[in-house]
Amino acid sequence: MKYYHHAGMTPTMKNPDYMYNVFDRTRAMINIPQIECITPIGQAVEPKSLEELCYNSAQNIVSQAVSKKIYVTWSGGIDSTLVLSELLKIAPKSQLTVFMDNNSIKEYPEFYSKYIKGQLETRQMSFYTDDPLRVALKDGIVVTGHLIDPVFGANIYQVLPEEKLKQSIQDFLTEVDRLSFVKYTKLINACPRPLVNVKDLFWWMDYTLNYQSEQLMWLLEIEEMILDKNLFHFGAGEDWNNYAVSTPAEIKWPGYDFNYYKMEIKKHIQKFTGDENYTKNKLKMPSWRKYRTDQQRWQNKAVWITTDWKRGWLTP
Partner 1 sequence: MVNELPDLIKEDQRYNLHAHPERPSNYNLVFVFPNWAPPLEVNIDKKQILSDLAKLGIKL
Give residues in contact with partner 1 (CB under 8 A): 1, 7-18, 20-22, 30, 101-103, 106, 124-129, 155-156, 158-161, 172, 175-177, 179-180, 183-184, 286, 288-291, 293-295, 298-299, 303-304, 312, 314-316
Report which residue type is found at 280. Answer: K
Which residue, 50 or 303, is less far from partner 1 as judged by CB? 303
C-alpha closest to that of 241 among 50, 38, 40: 40
**CB of residue 29 to partner 1, shortest distance in Å:** 9
Helix axes 50-65, 263-273, angle to 10 degrees: 60
C-alpha closest to that of 166 among 245, 244, 253, 243: 253
**CB of residue 9 to partner 1, shortest distance in Å:** 6
Which residue, 28 or 50, is less far from partner 1 as judged by CB? 28
For residues 285 and 304, what is the distance between their CA atoms, to the nearest angstrom? 30
Q: Which helix (H) or strand (E) holds 164?
A: helix 162-165
Which residue, 19 or 141, is less far from partner 1 as judged by CB? 19
**CB of residue 55 to partner 1, shortest distance in Å:** 32
**CB of residue 40 to partner 1, shortest distance in Å:** 22
C-alpha closest to that of 15 among 149, 151, 196, 177: 177
Q: Which helix (H) or strand (E) holds 311?
A: strand 311-312
Which residue, 21 or 39, is less far from partner 1 as judged by CB? 21
Which residue, 89 or 290, is less far from partner 1 as judged by CB? 290
> What is the Cβ-side half-sphere exposure of residue 290, based on CA atoms within 13 angstroms?
6
